Structure 1
Amino acid sequence: MSNIVVFGAGGTAGSRITAEAVERGHRVTAAVRRPEATSYLPAGVRTVTGDATSARSVRELAEDTDVFVVAIGGGERTLWRDAAQTLVNTLRELPDPPRVIHIGGGATLLTPKDTPFLEEPGFPDEYRDSAEGQADALAVYRSAAEGVTWTYVSPPPLEFHPGERTGHYRTGTDHPVTDAQGRSVLTYEDLAVAIVDEIESPRFPNARFTAAY
């Protein structure tokens, strides 16, 4: 059993990761900006005010924690980079820091041309800030010196939505996992399965992975 802090536990991804972890017997702390708005989280979840971009908050929540899950969203482009930088800078100063699992964007995955999807012609403008912000966060982790163990998780770049929990998925690294028809599809529920699997049996330390059917 692990002690897990989920930043952004009230969101679409964070709430499902929280539920999956609780169902498997882990102790979960939901670190959110408005604890009063998370009554729908499973019983037994400790809810606190927390901010992944605050060094003080990160330091306080790191005590007796095994894993930080970063599932934040809804902010300006700098949000994800600031969170990654805060976590890296703060945790490397601690004697036994938690691992970090950061839920990133699928648009940072690579096309068959080995260029990020976010650089493709016609990439939707409404998603550009968040996609570039998540790319900035990935760059922060990849440039981190020793002292922090991180994993960056990218869902499929297009077909990623709430749905059924099957408990099955396949993994890849920098390119989307595709089926026989060339589609890369995953539900939020099975992303949560993949993340808690990574918490329980780490396969991608200091690396990025993606998952799909």
Structure 2
Amino acid sequence: MSDIVVFGAGGTAGSRIAAEAAERGHRVTAAVRRPEATSYLPPGVRTVTGDATSPRSVRELAEDADVFVVAIGGGERELWRDAARTLVDTLRELPDPPRVIHVGGGATLLTPKGTRYLDEPDFPEEYRDSAEGQADALEFYRSSADGVTWTYVSPPPLEFHPGERTGHYRTGTDHPVTDAQGRSVLTYEDLAVAIVDEIENPRFGNARFTAAY
């Protein structure tokens, strides 16, 4: 059993990760900016005010944590890199820091041509800031996260939505996992399964992975 802190547990991904981890018997803390808005989380999930971009908040929550899951969203482009930098700079000062699992974007995955999906000419402009922000965070982990164990998780770049929890998925690294028809599909529920599986049986330390059916 692990002590898991989920930053952004009030969101679509974070709430499912918190619920999946709690269902499996882990001790889960939901770190959110507005604790009063998370009444739908399952019993047993402790809710606290927390901010992944605040060194003080990160330091306090790290005292009893084995794993930090970062599933934040809804901010400007700088949000994700700021969170990554705050976590790494704060945690590397601790003697036994928690592992960081960052829920990133699928647009940073590579197309068959070897370019990022976010660099394709038809990439939707309304998603560009968040995609670029998640790309900045991934680059920061890869280049500057010495002393902290991290894992960056990318969902499929297009077909990723709430749905059924099947408990089944396949993993890859920098290219989307595709089926026989070339589709890469996953639900938020099964992304949560993949993330809690990675917490329980680590395979992607200091690396990025993706999952799909």
TM-score normalized with structure 1 length: 0.99
Q: How does 1:50-65 map to 2 (within 5 A)?
A: 50-65=50-65
Match of 2:92 in 1: 92
Counterpart of 2:143 in structure 1: which amino acid?
A: S
* Partners of 1:60 and 1:145 in 2: CA distance: 20
Match of 2:68 in 1: 68
Q: Please state how far the C-alpha of 1:144 moved relative to its aligned partner.
A: 2.1
Matched, 1:157 2:125: no
What RMSD over aligned residues (CA atoms) do the two structures have, in Å? 0.5
* Partners of 1:117 and 1:78 in 2: CA distance: 20
Match of 1:174 in 2: 174
* Partners of 1:26 and 1:149 in 2: CA distance: 20
Match of 2:78 in 1: 78
* Partners of 1:19 and 1:64 in 2: CA distance: 19
* Partners of 1:123 and 1:144 in 2: CA distance: 28
* Partners of 1:23 and 1:82 in 2: CA distance: 31
Match of 2:113 in 1: 113
Aligned length: 213
Counterpart of 1:98 in structure 2: which amino acid?
A: P
Counterpart of 2:134 in structure 1: which amino acid?
A: Q
Residue by residue over 1:115-143, the C-alpha shift from the partner in whole angstroms, topping out at 9 and shown as x without a partner, is 11000011100000000000000011001
Which ranges of structure 2 fall in alignment gaps of 5 or more residues?
A: none
Match of 2:129 in 1: 129
Q: Please state how far the C-alpha of 1:146 moved relative to its aligned partner.
A: 2.5
* Partners of 1:136 and 1:156 in 2: CA distance: 18
Match of 1:142 in 2: 142
Q: Please state how far the C-alpha of 1:145 moved relative to its aligned partner.
A: 4.3
SS at 1:102's partner residue? strand
Residue by residue over 1:90-124, the C-alpha shift from the partner in whole angstroms, topping out at 9 and shown as x without a partner, is 00000000000000000000001111100001110
SS at 2:144's partner residue? coil
Counterpart of 1:109 in structure 2: which amino acid?
A: L
* Partners of 2:120 and 2:207 in 1: CA distance: 24
Matched, 1:23 2:23: yes
Match of 1:209 in 2: 209
Q: Please state how far the C-alpha of 1:195 moved relative to its aligned partner.
A: 0.1
Find runs of 4+ consecutive structure 1 residues off by over 6 angstroms: none
